[in-house]
């Protein structure tokens, strides 16, 4: 079709397409210049850090660079028996260099991540290596400590040869690569991350459900009340937005603690006895209550914006055609609010899955989420690569949910306002 149609020319004889592009170029440049600052800002504050995080979570160059000669010598080693003398010699050479730079401590920390027991034998090796004679390093090193004569420890060193590693991700799933190079789960009593992942999903799911149950009637009321009242109600919904997150969480602490207002009230009306006050914070309940309240506006607003567009005459039509109020609601009103429900649930779920301050303050031990674990590794153990790995796992989890949502409901169906 297009090949048959004649090229359309403007009155001046220039092809129409060329002329149109020329006319629009200026506008395009203007539009780009307007968004350029934001674009650069996003690249600097968002794309770079995430890229860096991704890199950090798989980066394992440190050991590779500390023991370059050792790993070169190990290339031909099959890992069955103890390595040959040349490997020991190369290791000795690398090690002396590290001691000169005072970096052997870092090596011991890194190797200890891979296998427990490296710390002490590296310390011992440093002391003894000062009196090493030239030649026959295998014998000399093996005599420092019996673990140096254990092939397991040499295999552990070899496992650190690659520049990139997936071990942080495995650790996030409570798994590791064992001596035979197979991926296995850690012992049951040491699995902490899987529990946290499941709990994070569980809390995010229920917070979404609670938010939905509470927000739907509020949003409906907001959308149907006369302007005078709905404005006031809207302010009440938005008021938490204008209050600091920390203040809101702290006020929940005041309300929910065992000697707090809610408990006093329960005791006052005789619902519970004074010496049997329920624990409502520093556990899951605390996380549920506080997170639901804090995330509620994110559910109300998309629902409201969708409900606002639904003409009240639709419900009336449903009723006048013979539908009971419930049928009119369920068959007419509810299906029309699905885009808002989708948007609200997605928003609340994604926010809840990465929630941090509130669970840290009111969640206690049984109410903390995976993001608290990430923060713990960022601040306390300083294992940033592990924190990055878990952060990325969280991010990909969110993307999977987004993808699933798109498959099931369709992302075009979403309406945020």
Partner 1 sequence: MSVNKEFVKFDKVDKSYDGKVLVVKDLQLDIAEGEFITMLGPSGSGKTTCLMMLAGFETPTNGEIYLDGNAISSIPPHKRGIGMVFQNYALFPHMTVYENLAFPLRVRKIPKDEADKKIDKALSMVSLQGFASRMPGQLSGGQQQRVAVARSLVFDPQLVLMDEPLGALDKNLRESMQYEIKHIHESIGVTVVYVTHDQSEALTMSNRIAVFNDGKVQQLSSPDELYEKPVNSFVAEFIGENNTFTGEVADISGQKCKVKLANAEIMANPISVKSKGERTKVSLRPERALINPKDKMDNIHNGKIEEVIYHGDHTRVRINLLGNPEFILKVPNSSANLDIKLGNEIKIGWNSEDARALDPK
Residues in binding contact with partner 1, number by CB under 8 A: 19
Among 156, 218, 295, 328, the residue binding partner 1 under the rule CB under 8 A is 328
> Judged by CB under 8 A, which of 239, 321, 399, 411 binds partner 1?
321
Considering only residues 43, 254, 314, 399, which one is a binding residue for partner 1 as defined by CB under 8 A?
Answer: 314
Q: Per CB under 8 A, which region of 140-148, 209-217, 316-324, 377-385 contacts partner 1?
A: 316-324
Find the part of the chain contacting partner 1 (CB under 8 A) among 76-84, 176-184, 320-328, 354-362: 320-328
Reference 141, options 173, 109, 95; nearest CA is 95
- Token pair, residue 317, equals 């039509």
Helices (H), 225-324: 227-242, 245-256, 261-268, 284-308, 312-320
Residue 308 interacts with partner 1 (CB under 8 A): yes or no = no
Distance between the two ends of the chain, CA-based, in angstroms? 41
Q: What is the closest distance, in whole angstroms, from the C-beta atom of residue 207 to partner 1 in the complex?
A: 29
Query: What count of residues does the chain have?
Result: 417
3 state SS of 53: helix
In 3D space, the residue among 252, 213, 219 whose CA is nearest the CA of residue 233 turns out to be 219
Select from 339, 335, 337, 309 the least CA-distant residue to 410: 339
Applying CB under 8 A, does 320 fall inside the site for partner 1? yes
- For position 226 contacting partner 1 by CB under 8 A, the verdict is no
Check residue 336 for interaction with partner 1 (CB under 8 A): yes
Burial call 219-252: b when 16+ CB within 10 Å, e when fewer: bbebbeeeeeebeeebeebeebeeeeeeebbeeb
Site for partner 1 in 266-295 (CB under 8 A): none
CA 364 to chain centre: 20
**How near is the Cβ of 220 to partner 1 at its closest, in Å?**
17
Nearer to partner 1, 63 or 332 (CB): 332
Q: How far is the CB of 402 from partner 1 (least distance, A)?
A: 24
Q: Work out the widest C-alpha separation in the chain, in whole angstroms.
A: 101
Q: Which is nearer to partner 1, 135 or 325 (CB)?
A: 325
Sole window of 39-47, 227-235, 278-286, 317-325 interacting with partner 1 (rule: CB under 8 A):
317-325
Residue among 55 and 334 whose Cβ is closer to partner 1: 334
Query: Which residues would be at the binding site for partner 1 (CB under 8 A)?
Result: 311, 313-314, 316-325, 327-328, 331-332, 335-336
């Amino acid at each position: 079709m297009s090949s048959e149609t004649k090229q359309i020319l403007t009155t001046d004889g220039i092809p129409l397409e060329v002329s149109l592009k020329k006319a629009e170029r200026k506008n395009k440049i203007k539009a780009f210049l307007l968004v350029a600052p934001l674009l650069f800002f996003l690249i600097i504050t968002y794309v770079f850090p995430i890229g860096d995080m991704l890199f950090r979570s798989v980066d394992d160059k440190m050991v590779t660079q500390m023991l370059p000669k050792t790993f070169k010598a190990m290339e031909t080693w099959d890992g069955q028996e103890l390595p040959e003398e040349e490997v020991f010699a190369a290791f000795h050479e690398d090690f002396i260099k590290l001691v000169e730079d005072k970096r052997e401590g870092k090596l011991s920390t890194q190797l200890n991540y891979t296998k427990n027991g490296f710390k002490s034998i590296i310390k011992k090796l440093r002391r003894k290596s000062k009196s090493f004679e030239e030649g026959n390093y295998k014998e000399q090193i093996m005599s420092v400590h019996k673990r140096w004569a254990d092939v397991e420890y040499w295999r552990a060193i070899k496992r650190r040869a690659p520049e990139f590693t997936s071990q942080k991700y495995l650790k996030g799933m409570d798994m590791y690569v064992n001596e035979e190079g197979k991926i296995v789960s850690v012992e049951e009593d040491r699995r902490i991350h899987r529990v946290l992942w499941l709990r994070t999903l569980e809390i995010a799911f229920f917070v979404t459900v609670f938010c939905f149950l509470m927000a739907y009637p509020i949003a409906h009321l907001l959308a149907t009340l006369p302007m005078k009242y709905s404005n006031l109600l809207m302010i009440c919904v938005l008021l938490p937005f204008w209050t600091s997150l920390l203040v809101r969480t702290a006020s929940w602490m005041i309300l929910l603690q065992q000697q707090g207002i809610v408990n006093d009230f329960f005791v006052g009306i005789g619902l519970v006895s004074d010496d049997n006050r329920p624990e409502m914070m520093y556990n899951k309940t605390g996380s549920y209550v506080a997170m639901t309240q804090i995330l509620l506006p994110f559910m109300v607003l998309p629902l409201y914006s969708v409900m606002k567009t639904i003409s009240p005459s639709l419900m009336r039509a449903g009723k006048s055609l013979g539908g009971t109020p419930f049928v009119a609601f369920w068959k007419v009103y509810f299906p029309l609010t699905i885009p808002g429900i989708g948007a609200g649930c997605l928003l609340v779920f994604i926010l809840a899955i990465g929630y941090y301050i509130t669970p840290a303050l009111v969640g206690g031990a049984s109410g903390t989420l995976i993001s608290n674990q990430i923060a713990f590794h960022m601040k306390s153990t300083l294992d940033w690569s592990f924190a990055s790995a878990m952060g990325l796992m969280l991010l990909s989890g969110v993307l999977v949910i987004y993808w699933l949502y798109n498959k099931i409901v369709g992302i075009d169906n979403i309406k945020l306002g």
